[in-house]
Structure 1
């Protein structure tokens, strides 16, 4: 291993951990809290949460993918490269789910919060968003665990 691999692996772990923590929190806390809240509360609060999240979380998300690819490509160990490839696959699957399902819902809830309206389909939007949060959290868990093979393999 070399300095580039070490730094890339550390950046990959820490940036992935940010998204991992966010998704696990959402699965464990925000999802059940939203299911018991009024539609107006869901539209307003979660719209605002997504406003900040969608603005601030792309940087660690993108960094996690780039750093994972770099650490995987520059490591000289086959087990580490396999772990890196698994991590990269999990991150790319996460991104596909986010872009296809979560991001469009986030956009609708952000717009509702900004205009102080409650979409008629708020509950359905939240249920659809909730339907993928455990999958997203699992994919982040797989990515993070697989990234550790890069760090632990010498």
Structure 2
């Protein structure tokens, strides 16, 4: 939402250095909170099931599925691009930085939508719980 339009006007070298560093740092820092959220969502679903709260179970399971879809997109599209961008200055691939960033950008709205739906499902589960 901010970086994409800002980086549209910079040269390729700046794009590679900037986004390579952003992805390198994010890929090191984000797995722990991401995994914690996914595990907590699974535990919420399991707890609701054991407690007999079917609507809460269904909503938490739905959130888990949204997060699983997010992870599938991340692992198959975003993470490989992150790796290419973070190593691009030292290991040219024949693919331009702009092509990589355009491909990464092509799934960001889907990823954001999936996370939003997961959060909304969990909020509804919380409101539904008794």
* Normalised TM-score (structure 2): 0.89
Does residue 62 of the first structure (1) align with residue 35 of the second (2)?
yes
* Count of matched residue pairs: 126
Cα deviations by residue, 1:20-72 (Å, 9 ceiling, x for unpaired): xxxxxxxx112222223221111000100011100000001111111100011
| Structure 1 residue 112 displacement after superposition | 2.3
* Aligned counterpart for 2:14 among listed residues 23, 41, 48: 41
Q: Which has the higher helix share?
A: 1
Pairwise CA RMSD: 1.8
Q: Rg bigger for which structure?
A: 2
Relative contact order higher in (CA < 8 Å, ≥ 6 apart)? 1
Which range moves more in the overlay, 46-55 or 32-41?
Answer: 32-41
1:78 and 1:120 map into 2 onto residues whose CA distance is 49
* Cα distance change on mapping 1:126 and 1:96 into 2, 3 Å: same
Query: Aligned to 1:111, which of 77, 81, 87?
Result: 87
**Structure 1 unaligned blocks of 5 or more:** 1-27
For the residues of structure 1 that align with 2:32 and 2:5, how far apart are their CA atoms? 27
Structure 2: 5+ residue runs without aligned partners? none
Shift of 1:87: 0.4
Partner of 2:60: 84
Please report how far the alpha carbon of residue 150 of structure 1 lies from its aligned counterpart in structure 2 after TM superposition: 2.6
TM-score, normalised via structure 1 length: 0.76
CA distance in 1 between counterparts of 2:13 and 2:93 reads: 6
Deviation string, structure 1 residues 66-89 (Cα, Å, up to 9, x no partner)? 110001110131111111111001
Distance 2:41 2:12 in 1: 39
Shift of 1:92: 0.3
Counterpart in the other structure of 1:71: 44
| Residue 119 of structure 1, CA deviation | 6.3
